[in-house]
Amino acid sequence: MAEGKLLCFGYGYTAGFFARRLQDAGWRITGTTRSPDKAAALAADGVEALVWAGGEIDPAWLDGATAVLISTPPDDEGCPAFRAAADLIAERKNQIQWIGYLSTNGVYGDHDGAWVTEDSKLCATSPRAKRRIKAENQWRDFARQRGLPLIVFRLPGIYGPGRSAIDTVREGKARRVYKESQVFSRMHVADIAKTLEASMARPRLHDVYNLADDEPAPPQDVIEYACTLLGVEPPPLTPIEEAGLSDMAKSFYADNKRVSNQRLKEALGVTLDYPTYRDGLDAIARELP
């Protein structure tokens, strides 16, 4: 897709990486935030910042937009960006060439460690994941009805500079919580941004992609590797029953699956820069002061 204007509903860690990648290619970036202070910081980075609390929007925000990224978390009613902007987007279907919705692989729920693809059953039981399924369905159904180029991206654990196991260890917050046979999928934020950009060239090929690296791994192994890179002793293994986790943290450990990234490789031709957590952490460690 030629350079254009990207409108981001929600300008967080992942959206920021993606936006900066497009900025480097000559794109104009507009992003929403709830915080006036963050809006000022975004403006300093060359982003047209829009303060938005989740209600109605000014239709002018979509003027000139050729791509839209949605990363706002859903509520009980579904996606707030859907309520605010879906009809406005549909009115501009000849202008907008790509719409990306950032979801989560949490929609698959627990598959007892088995591999899941985009066609796997959605077994989510947590209210948070069920809200994601509802939001996905809102956007997918609407896009099919209106002929819109929408893609749902089901994201894994996201890490990268400033937000990785290395940072957790350096901050003294690292724990090695152990649950037998538990694995998680994860992906470096730069590879996520790379995949989103690649999808822009083929926005109607598939309407769902799993995002993940090549190696689902136990979380305690990731912390141990980060400690090795930093030359520090890893924290002791703590059985999950003794970890005193919050209800939110426990809900993540309730789901065990391996997320396949085969579709993004075959359909989009993406070669990951960080195919394992070791590759990603190695790169982060090399950039440490």
User: pLDDT tens, 225-251?
Assistant: 999 999 999 999 999 999 999 988 888
Residue 189 one-letter amino acid: V
SS3 195: helix
Output the pTM of the full model: 0.97
Q: Is residue 180 part of a domain?
A: no
Q: Distances from the Cα of 87 to the Cαs of 16, 108, 154, 186, in angstroms?
A: 25, 29, 24, 34
Could you give the number of structural domains in the chain? 1
Which tens digit of pLDDT belongs to each residue from 129-143? 999 999 999 999 999
Query: Which residues of the chain are modeled with pLDDT < 70?
Result: none
What's the pLDDT score for residue 149? 97
Q: Is residue 250 part of a domain?
A: no
Phi, psi of 72 (to 5 degrees): -70, 135
Instruction: Provide the CATH number for the domain around residue 63.
Output: 3.40.50.720
Range of the domain at 35: 5-158+187-213+259-273
Q: Is residue 278 part of a domain?
A: no
CB 150 within 8 A of CB 199: no
Q: Is residue 163 part of a domain?
A: no
Q: Is residue 182 part of a domain?
A: no
Q: Is residue 29 part of a domain?
A: yes
What's the pLDDT score for residue 289? 86
Which residue do the tokens 């005193």 mark?
244
Check residue 283 and report its DSSP letter.
Answer: H
Q: Is residue 279 part of a domain?
A: no
Q: Is residue 52 part of a domain?
A: yes
Q: Taking Cα atoms as reference points, which of 141, 270, 183, 169 lies closest to residue 227?
A: 169
CB 166 within 8 A of CB 281: yes
- Whole-number Å distance between alpha carbons of 145 and 25: 32
